[in-house]
Amino acid sequence: MEEEGRRLLEEGIRKKVISPGKGDLSTFPNGTKVVFHYRTSLCDGTVLDDSRSMGGRSKPLELIMGKKFKLAVWERIVITMRKGEVAEFTCDTKHTALYPLVSQSLRNISVGKDPLEGQRHCCGIAQIHSHHSLGHKDLDHLQANPQPLLFAIELLEVLPPGSFQLDMWAMTDKEKLDSVPHIHEEGNSLFKQGKIKEATEKYYNAIACLKNLQMKEHPGDENWVQLDQMITPLLLNYCQCLLLQGQYYEVIEHCSSLVFKYEDNVKAFYKRGKAHAAVWNEKEARADFAKVLELDPSLEASVNKEVKAMEEKLRSKQAEEKGRYKGLFDYKAMPAAATTVSPN
């Protein structure tokens, strides 16, 4: 233990055990999955990230050892821990320079966004030296002012290679591509069972996987186009799940990106029309439904049903507003108060 501590100090890492773990220390061969909660703080105590509350939920991080995670120091410190151990690690700046990018990805994931959203197509070091905003003031400040960080880690699980299914980010490019049809089918199955949130996550994972591969291709090239054509049906399914969960503005955003690229995508116009109708954008909804009929007249019955439902909602809303403001300006003038004059 003391020898390991000395080695860490020599590397610019100071460890403080808060609660010891149980059992023997794992050898952590490549391919081992480690599951842990983390809290990242500045040395003045300011908390940057906490896996127990990020995105409004408690979700531990999972790492596969030997997969060259962008923040290498996390692999270095975890291999000094036993299952169940809680420890704090103060790491010198040389170990933390890439943390702003890692944090941005983790924050994106926690709110259901693409982990690579907002990151330029270049290596981590190049991004650090650019003036590109990460979309978070605290991370922009940290990127401009690299400094030591304190990581509080609780090691929850240590799973040996072969005892678990690989997560998307830990797969090779071929493994990712081969897994997408299976994940797509899992999403469809969950959707049919009415498990909308679970289906949403499956579609999202498949989309993120393909987008990760697409970033390695030049936009417009054959491989890029093929990947985009694989993403499109997944994105439409994802939007259907979002519609059912009331995420209308996100549906409008995704479908708008689709019709910008594919002007004849009737499903994108139809879903966007439904989303517009749900948020009272009558003009936009009518335009989208008209486009649906132009592209596929056989959908007239479905479109008429949606338009009728929208019109009924609009009438109900107008009646409600009329009732709410009725009498606001309909009042009789109050009689003037009598003036009493005292005798002299």
pLDDT digits (tens, 9 = 90+) for 47-76: 999 999 998 888 899 998 988 788 999 999
- Domain 173-323 carries which CATH code? 1.25.40.10
pLDDT digits (tens, 9 = 90+) for 176-231: 899 999 999 999 999 999 999 999 999 998 998 899 899 889 989 999 999 999 99
The reported pTM is 0.57
CATH 3.10.50.40 positions along the chain are 1-115+139-159
Question: Domain 1-115+139-159 is of which CATH architecture?
Answer: Roll (3.10)
Average pLDDT over residues 90-103: 96
CATH 1.25.40.10 positions along the chain are 173-323
Position 249 pLDDT exceeds 70: yes
25 vs 330, higher pLDDT: 25
The 3-class secondary structure across the chain, one letter per residue, is: CHHHHHHHHHCCEEEEEEECCCCCCCCCCCCCEEEEEEEEEECCCCEEEECCCHHHCCCCEEEECCCCCCCHHHHHHHCCCCCCCEEEEEECHHHHCCHHHHHHHHHHHHCCCCCCCCCCCCCHHHHHCCCCCCCCHHHHHHHHCCCCEEEEEEEEEEECCCCCCCCHHHCCHHHHHHHHHHHHHHHHHHHHCCCHHHHHHHHHHHHHHHHHHHCCCCCCCHHHHHHHHHHHHHHHHHHHHHHHCCCHHHHHHHHHHHHHHCCCCHHHHHHHHHHHHHCCCHHHHHHHHHHHHHHCHHHHHHHHHHHHHHHHHHHHHHHHHHHHHCCCCCCCCCCCCCCCCCCC
